[in-house]
Amino acid sequence: MRIATWNVNSVNARLPTVLAWVEAASPDVLCLQELKCVDEKFPREPFESLGYNVETHGQKTYNGVALLSKLPVSDLRRGLPGDPSDEQARYIEAVIEGARPVRVASIYLPNGNPIGTEKFAYKLAWFERLQRHAAELLALEEALLLCGDYNVIPEPEDARNPKAWTDDALFQPESRAAWRALKFQGFTDAHEAGNEPDGTYTFWDYQAGAWQRDHGIRIDHVLMSAQAADRFVGIETHRDARDMEKPSDHVPVVVEIAD
Domain count of the chain?
A: 1
Q: What is the pLDDT of residues 146-182, one digit of tens each?
A: 999 999 999 999 999 999 999 999 999 999 999 999 9
Amino acid, single-letter form, for residue 17:
T
Cis upstream peptide for 16 (omega within 30°): no
Q: Average of pLDDT values for 4-28?
A: 98
In the structure, what pLDDT confidence band is assigned to residue 10 with cuts at 50, 70 and 90?
A: very high
Mean pLDDT of 1-26: 98
Answer yes or no: are the C-beta atoms of 74 and 94 closer than 8 Å: yes
pLDDT digits (tens, 9 = 90+) for 35-85: 999 999 999 999 999 999 999 999 999 999 999 999 999 999 999 999 999
Q: What's the rounded Cα separation, in Å, for the pair 132 and 128?
A: 6
pLDDT score at 208: 87
Q: Which of 52, 108, 150, 201 is catalytic?
A: 108
For a pLDDT cut of 90, what percent of the chain falls above it?
100
CATH number of the domain encompassing residue 74: 3.60.10.10
Look at residue 119 and tell me whether its pLDDT is greater than 90. Answer: yes
In 168-243, the DSSP E strands lie at: 188-189, 203-204, 216-217, 220-224, 232-237
Buried b / exposed e over 11-26, threshold 16 CB at 10 Å, is beebeebbbebbeebe
Which one is catalytic: 28, 52, 91, 149? 149
Nearest of 31, 22, 56, 20 to residue 220 by alpha carbon? 31
Q: What are phi and psi of 144, to 5 degrees?
A: -135, 130
Q: Is 149 a catalytic residue?
A: yes
pLDDT band for position 125 (cuts 50, 70, 90): very high
Average pLDDT, the chain: 98
To the nearest 10°, report the CA torsion of 22, 149, 236, 55.
-40
Domain holding 32, by residue range, is 2-257
**Catalytic site residue 62?**
no
